[in-house]
Amino acid sequence: MSDDGQRPPMLGVIGGSGVYDITGLEQARWEQVETPFGDPSDHILVGELEGLPVAFLPRHGRGHPLPPSGVNYRANIDALKRLGVTDVLSLSAVGSLREELAPGTFVLVDQFIDRTIERDKSFFGPGLVAHVSMAEPVCNRLADLVERVAVEEELPVRRGGTYLAMEGPQFSSRAESEMYRAWGCDVVGMTNMPEAKLAREAELCYATVAMVTDFDCWHPDHGNVEVADVIRVLQANASKARSLVEAVAESFGHRPDPCPQGCDRVLDTALITMPQARDPERLRCLDAVAGRVLTNDTE
């Protein structure tokens, strides 16, 4: 912690489909991180980019052994927080629900609709209840930086959009795809929820780069989604994503601190369970996620 209570900046990168590592890391090493919520998706690649501490976690594990519903999202976020991460850049493969969002486009989404049903969605629960706001789920400080860098790198980027998170692993039916479009969604994926919710609870600044791999099945001029077609675009997107991460790291230290949006302080007003009613075991599990406010409560 610095003198003003702020943690020194550290970038966490969660790599989605096709992005299993980051090249160019100095002093790179794979670290195993234990969490109260089980094992993360994989060991975490820790090192430095442009002098900035960086932690990279392949969301599906190296080689993609984990399906979207098999990812331990709580362990992933907890592990990053334990390593000292302050900001999380999420890289995700998505299908497009809009004609103008062609394969290869990078979308900096700013809203989510959560249609997942089989995942643990909160660090809190019986014994310690907390309610954080998800009205603005993406950190504008981090998204502003990513947008500026993407433009400088001449990447095909679109700022703003709604991400529909579905359970999967099957792709959408045509009726579902049309429904998501009618709801005003722009892209569809399977992984950013509950990831974004958990990052908010852990007081981490969070932003998503949704990398379009295909048009979802609503599109009349494109056939059903095929994995082989998706993989071809994934490979092209992956190299651009790595370049984007390197450029973000180079500019990362110039961001305003503390977060103007308050992402790093959301728990100040979120805890509702009185200290004397809190479950000790729940408190133990939240030593990393909520230690800042729980420590203050006991002083």
Q: How many angstroms separate the CA atoms of 207 and 143, rounded?
A: 6
Residue 41 marked in a binding site: no
From the candidates 214, 221, 287, 297, give the one annotated as an active-site residue: 214
| Of 138, 145, 144, 141, the residue nearest 162 (C-alpha) | 138
| Of 105, 83, 76, the residue nearest 8 (C-alpha) | 83
Residue 17 marked in a binding site: yes
Quick check: is 186 catalytic? no
Which residues, 6 or more positions from 183, have their beta carbon under 8 angstroms from its beta carbon? Answer: 113, 162, 164
Residue 214 marked in a binding site: yes
From the candidates 110, 114, 216, 264, give the one annotated as an active-site residue: 216
Residue 64 marked in a binding site: no
Q: How many angstroms separate the CA atoms of 41 and 267, rounded?
A: 26
Token digits for 178?
A: 């049309």
Type of residue at 217? C
Residue 37 marked in a binding site: no
Count helices and strands (H / E) in the chain.
7, 11
Cβ–Cβ under 8 Å, residues 164 and 42: no
Residue 191 marked in a binding site: yes
Q: How many angstroms separate the CA atoms of 194 and 35, rounded?
A: 17
Residue 93 marked in a binding site: yes
Quick check: is 216 catalytic? yes
Dihedral sign computed on CA atoms, order 21, 22, 28, 33: negative
Residue 190 marked in a binding site: yes
Torsion-angle region of residue 168: left (phi > 0), alpha (psi -120 to 50) or beta? left
Catalytic residues: 214, 216
Binding site for substrate, by residue number, is 190, 214-216
Q: Which residues are annotated as a binding site for phosphate?
A: 17, 59-60, 92-93, 191
Query: Which residues are annotated binding-site positions?
Result: 17, 59-60, 92-93, 190-191, 214-216
